[in-house]
Structure 1
Amino acid sequence: MLAVLSKLKKVKAILSFVTVFILLASAFAYAMFQGGFVSWFLFYSFLPFALYSILLFFYPMNFQVERSISPRMYNAGDDIEVNLTLIRKFPFPLLFLLIEDVMLDSLNQKEIKRVFFPGFKKHFKVTYTIRNAARGEHNFQYIRLKTGDALGLLSKGKRIPCKQAILVYPPYEDITYKSFRNLLDHGEGVSVSASRNSTSLVGGIREYEPGDRFSWIDWKASARSNQIMTKEFEASESNDFFIVLDTIPAKNFEGLVSFAASATRNIVRNGGKIGILIGGKERVLIPPRSGVGQEEAIFYQLAKVREDDSVGLEDHLEDQILAGQYTVFVVTSKLSKELVDGAAKMFNKKRRVIICLIKARGQKLTSEETALKAIAAGNGPIVHSFDEQNFRMAFAGVKKAR
């Protein structure tokens, strides 16, 4: 398709070039046969425009284009400033230059076009701002340049590749919370256990991992092994978490992604381990770990995730990695019997399952979902439903950060 369009543009440019020649020849013939001041005045008046059009036809428009975006990682809703620098070697006098930065529709932006009157300038810059950037991995493709003559007889354009990618992370909320047991024991609110801080029982030693506390280091074992070793404690409740994100198309899908990002950030920042499993055909699985690096890895996947209902969420609940002693967050916008049954199979004394049922603003549970919520409670898993606008209240003690 692109090849056909390119050929059509070349044919159009040639036809325009021929038209200019015909008009110039017609003006000259008219002056020769008619004679007089008026006819020659018309010819000499048209001659500069015709010569400019002919020279413009052969002008190669060899521009070097550089796009500058810093930083390249943003959060959804941020404004992104883009700087374009154009350099050319031959200063051909251009009457105007239309610059268009072509990007994917994923940014939800209108066409970015700017008009310049460069004249003989060889170096100039273009700056524009992308407002309210959407979440995702966005790829800029190329720059399109267009110019023409004063009479509009001939137009000339060129597409210059200038690829670049930016990553827009999902929005998140900083949440202050007290104890994860509130939800596990009473089903009233989600918070995170400080059980990892319970160091009364030492179960063994292991290699140091980013995020481990300085007080956990076993200096004797470190000296013997010549590497840093930390103590591993037997806690009454595991402080390891696993998010299972449903990718079924929903009008509040961005709310689900935002909740997963908020849970990830706040669990990591409070010393817990967390992993994620993203459903859909192209399944993404990151085992639970701690540390800022884990947070960045999960946020990267959450930035790229798209809606996909090719594989049901319940099919992913049978993954063997979910068999560990994790507290599993199933983040979804729709409650089904298959999902409740799958969560019930996962539930046991060492593994807690919490279905976070996030609804769109103003949307209520259906009668079927209400019944399934009661069935789930009888089988072990907790169904915690809340509005996407108020998901911060799913945690005990909240303050807004962003």
Structure 2
Amino acid sequence: MKQYIKVIWNKCRDWFVLFCIFAATFSYAMFQGGFVSWFLFYSFLPFGLYAVAVLSYPLKKWNVTRDVKLQPRFAGDHLSYDIHITRSSAFPVYMAAVKEESNLLDQEERTIYPLFQRNAVIPYERSFVERGEYELFTISIELSDLLGIVKKKAYYPLQQRFIVYPQTHEIDIQFLLAGIEEGKNEVSTGNQSTTLVTGIREYQPGDRVGSIDWKATARKATLISKEFGHYHERSMIIIADVINSLYFEERMSFLASMLIHEETKRKKIDFLLAGDALFSPKTSEQSETDNLLYHLARAQPINNRAFETEFKSIALQKQHSFMVIVSQVTGTLIGQIQSKLSLHAKASIIVVKDEGAGLSEEETVIVNGIQSSALTVEVVNIPLPLSSKGSEGRNK
């Protein structure tokens, strides 16, 4: 009942305020009877009548469209579009506030003064669009009278969605893969591997007890089973940290650069992203790349979890050579990687950092202490624009 009364009040509030002002000025003129009182009433009359006209005006009949001229695809690209407003009548509109309702940050309200004009074009531009999934939901237009007493608002649903992938760079893929290619041991064609966990799903009748993910079950309060991958003729596995906030954007950019590289596609590399959940698509080659890029576009760091914890739960076949992509080297991670290596397998750690950054003193000590020749460490520097660095800095 309260909600119903609130809706009625919101619709009638401006009419009620306008009626009160009219009644007050007219009553004052009638009872006072002097020149000043009647002058006050007649002075307000045109403003009041215009306010009545604004409240009665069919704003929803306006034709509003959005024309996207330049749509971003990768982080750092430019976004440019125009909002076109067309109306049939030449009713004098003193002021109209136009706002794009979207999840784009810093989307300001634009004010136009069309007066008798029937057509208006409002340009929107954003010089730097960050990685993410964006939606333009609807456009709102609000009219106001000359004194700002009443307002009338209308919404025009114009949904549009686009994905901005991480920025890509030229990287030497062959050099980075060389460290583990010598130790690779491909899975034979048609031989299914059920030892690599690639995701989680709800428990289904027939699932083995050993496949239940007890940690995920405790979090979701329902039985959750692990999903195991089918890998055919895959030469190596890349496991990426999509948890740690340190140099997160640089890591996403590096992963996207690897995904779209022809050398990566030619070698048919399996990617396993350890983030909110283990993610590894099992579809066609092109769909797999698209799904991974989409996942990277939407990924966000997780502050209350550690990559080492997720990496420990990943089960790999002993003969698999693999690459681990992180931005921070720890003794715990080195120990876990070495425990997953067999006699003939190799592993490589790619440490992704900002341009000009290197290993810290603590990381240098840890790397120098590695005894096994089967484990190599490479530092990759990814330069990002200033806008991304500002956003990244808030995550560090």
Offset from partner CA, 1:70-103 (integer Å, 9 cap, x none): 5655110111012223355666432111011122
Offset from partner CA, 1:347-380 (integer Å, 9 cap, x none): 3355432111223456553444333323445273
* C-alpha deviation, 1:324, in angstroms: 8.6
Q: 1:170 maps to which residue?
A: 166
Q: Please show how residues 10-49 of structure 1 align to structure 2 within 5 Å.
A: 11=9, 14-35=12-33, 39-49=37-47
Distance 2:379 2:345 in 1: 20
Which residue identity does 1:337 align to in structure 2? G
Contact kept in structure 1, 2:138 and 2:157, CA below 8 Å: yes
Structure 1 residue matching 2:243: 3-state secondary structure: coil
Q: 2:94 maps to which residue?
A: 95
Q: Please show how residues 287-298 of structure 1 align to structure 2 within 5 Å.
A: 293-298=287-292
Task: Assess, with a 3 A threshold, how the Cα gap between structure 1 residues 287 and 33 changes in structure 2: closer, same or farther.
Answer: closer
Q: 1:80 maps to which residue?
A: 79
Task: Assess, with a 3 A threshold, how the Cα gap between structure 1 residues 181 and 319 changes in structure 2: closer, same or farther.
Answer: closer
* C-alpha deviation, 1:129, in angstroms: 0.6
Q: 1:113 maps to which residue?
A: 109
Structure 1 residue matching 2:66: 3-state secondary structure: strand
From 378, 381, 393, the counterpart of 2:375: 381
From 258, 277, 280, the counterpart of 1:282: 277
* C-alpha deviation, 1:116, in angstroms: 1.6
* C-alpha deviation, 1:134, in angstroms: 0.4
2:247 equivalent to 1:248: no
From 52, 55, 70, the counterpart of 1:54: 52
Task: Assess, with a 3 A threshold, how the Cα gap between structure 1 residues 140 and 278 changes in structure 2: closer, same or farther.
Answer: same
Q: 2:353 maps to which residue?
A: 359
Offset from partner CA, 1:194-245 (integer Å, 9 cap, x none): x9xxxxxxx999xxxxxxxxxxxxxxxxxxxxxxxxxxxxxxxx98343322
From 147, 150, 154, the counterpart of 1:151: 147
Contact kept in structure 2, 1:99 and 1:114, CA below 8 Å: yes
What are structure 1's unaligned runs of at least 5 residues?
A: 185-191, 196-202, 206-237, 391-402
Offset from partner CA, 1:170-208 (integer Å, 9 cap, x none): 111123566567545xxxxxxx89x9xxxxxxx999xxx
From 249, 256, 259, the counterpart of 1:261: 256
Task: Assess, with a 3 A threshold, how the Cα gap between structure 1 residues 65 and 152 changes in structure 2: closer, same or farther.
Answer: same
* C-alpha deviation, 1:306, in angstroms: 1.3
* C-alpha deviation, 1:268, in angstroms: 4.2
Contact kept in structure 1, 2:234 and 2:270, CA below 8 Å: no
* C-alpha deviation, 1:260, in angstroms: 1.0
Identical counterparts, % of pairs? 25
Contact kept in structure 2, 1:274 and 1:288, CA below 8 Å: no
Distance 1:330 1:272 in 2: 17
Which residue identity does 1:352 align to in structure 2? K
Distance 2:38 2:283 in 1: 85
Distance 2:306 2:167 in 1: 26
Which residue identity does 1:278 align to in structure 2? L
Structure 1 residue matching 2:237: 3-state secondary structure: strand
Q: 1:399 maps to which residue?
A: none
Distance 1:324 1:92 in 2: 77
Distance 2:73 2:5 in 1: 39
Distance 1:350 1:273 in 2: 20
Number of residue equivalences: 336
Distance 1:81 1:303 in 2: 20
Structure 2 residue matching 1:240: 3-state secondary structure: coil
Which residue identity does 1:49 align to in structure 2? F
Task: Assess, with a 3 A threshold, how the Cα gap between structure 1 residues 339 and 309 changes in structure 2: closer, same or farther.
Answer: farther
* C-alpha deviation, 1:270, in angstroms: 6.8
Contact kept in structure 1, 2:82 and 2:123, CA below 8 Å: yes
TM-score (norm 2): 0.70
Structure 2 residue matching 1:129: 3-state secondary structure: strand
Structure 2 residue matching 1:308: 3-state secondary structure: coil
Distance 2:337 2:367 in 1: 12
Distance 2:365 2:169 in 1: 31
Structure 2 residue matching 1:77: 3-state secondary structure: coil
TM-score (norm 1): 0.69
Q: 1:69 maps to which residue?
A: 68
2:123 equivalent to 1:124: no
Distance 1:281 1:343 in 2: 21
Contact kept in structure 2, 1:95 and 1:150, CA below 8 Å: yes
Structure 2 residue matching 1:303: 3-state secondary structure: helix
* C-alpha deviation, 1:148, in angstroms: 0.9
Structure 2 residue matching 1:27: 3-state secondary structure: helix
